[in-house]
Amino acid sequence: MFVAIFDLHAQYPVLSPFALSIGATPSFIGLIMGLYSATHIPGNLLAGIGVDRYGSKWFISISLIGAGVLLLLQARVTDPWQLLAIRSVSGFVLAFLSPACMAMLAKLARDHIQQGHLMSGNGLVHTLASVVSPAAGAYLVARLGFHLMFTVLGVVLIGVGLLCIAFLKERAPRADAPSTSRESMDALHALPAPAHVRQPLQAGQREKAPGIPWLFFALPLGISCTQGILYFELPLSGDGSRSIITSGILFSVISLGALLTLSMLFLNRFSPLARTALGSLTLALSFFLMSVDQPLPVMAILFLIGMAKGIVYPAIATFLATLTHHETYGRVFALLSISYSLGSFIGPLLAGNLRDELSPYFLAFLVLSAALTLLTFVPQDGAGAHGGAMSIRHFPGNHYNKN
């Protein structure tokens, strides 16, 4: 995970300037970044069903190898339309990686507290890699150029995928894996209850899963929309290698902020829903500060954005895992990835077309504020009694209730 995330995040400060260098306009760059996220959606749907049926290992390996091959092709593009096609296919291929990794982690937990620790650990590894990778990517471009840099990253991804085939061992779900229960519902709004040990089902019984609130998915959609706006706008502050290196450092500052809050493991003992709301509010206010004249330095605000991300992302994953049976983790995290993909598609597209009329950062503030407002309508018990939720049984291809 560390090497894979390092490879992928090294492209963040590079992609927009590279597209400009081959003749793309800002609005076309927004389309390239948006379609990359839009093609995640069919991949997420397939991953949700496939991971639950066949496990995570092969989806992780093939996704990494495919992404590496596409990076080798990306190193040879000379036209914006070629870059658009390759990035679109790359979005589909990489869509399998996140649901597979998160499902593999979630199955290893004994209880929901440990589940929160594992999700934070995933975010910690993710952040450690992303702290240095944007600056490293910008440095590689300054020394090697765009084409050689993409070639190096592609070879590394292929190598990691081959290592996964050889060495990654997937464990069966623990016998005491966390399941949906009244204790797990109470844990959403109070200090976590003692670990609940799952009892085996008797013949003919079905385990009832609480509903997943539909409106809750508006929040990860809004968060990813703001991140898409940020990744689009931040590298376009100037031209030349100096600008690329500067934007790489700024992305690393965001990751350092996330690293700080991810290291605070005691946060996992608080309600994931409360952490989600507080972190999202902080994120929205940070984007507002980015859009207005104020005395705070940009690096300080970006560090605050990173701290908010370090709180929100593990909290969202923990909240959904708490409501879910372990045999359907793949589907639930696929739905989460679809929300992230839709937001990442909408964000750069809006920013690329509206940046001359409206500050992209103020647009991010408006989007996230609207999504945070919708969070108040999520049923507090996570169930569908108020018409705001759906059962995971309704997701395509779900057969976890068979005895």
Domain at 355, CATH number: 1.20.1250.20
- Is residue 400 assigned to a domain? no
- Is residue 379 assigned to a domain? yes
- Is residue 402 assigned to a domain? no
Helix (H, G, I), strand (E, B) or coil at 390: strand
Q: Structure tokens of 52?
A: 């639950």
pLDDT of residue 243: 63
Domain that holds residue 354: 2-167+180-192+208-394
If you ran DSSP here, which 8-state letter would residue 41 be given? H
pLDDT tens column, 363-394 = 999 999 998 888 776 655 443 333 334 433 43
Helices (H) and strands (E) in the chain, counts: 16, 2
- Is residue 17 assigned to a domain? yes
Measured CA angle at 105 (ends 104, 109), to 5 deg: 120
Q: Structure tokens of 284?
A: 């929205």
Q: Structure tokens of 96?
A: 């399998």
The H-assigned helical ranges of 55-79 are: 57-74
Measured CA angle at 331 (ends 223, 52), to 5 deg: 140
- Nearest CA among 328, 314, 101 for reference residue 207: 328
- Is residue 174 assigned to a domain? no
Q: Rg of the chain over CA atoms, in angstroms? A: 21
pLDDT of residue 10: 81
- Is residue 323 assigned to a domain? yes
Written as one letter, the residue type at 324 is: T
pLDDT of residue 325: 66
- Whether this prediction's pTM lies above 0.85 is answered by no
What's the structural domain count of the chain?
1
- Is residue 198 assigned to a domain? no
Q: Are strands 389-390 and 212-213 parallel, antiparallel or unpaired?
A: antiparallel
Extract the residue ranges of the chain whose pLDDT is less than 50: 176-210, 239-242, 381-403
Helix (H, G, I), strand (E, B) or coil at 170: coil
Residues composing the chain: 403
CA distance 8 to 14: 11
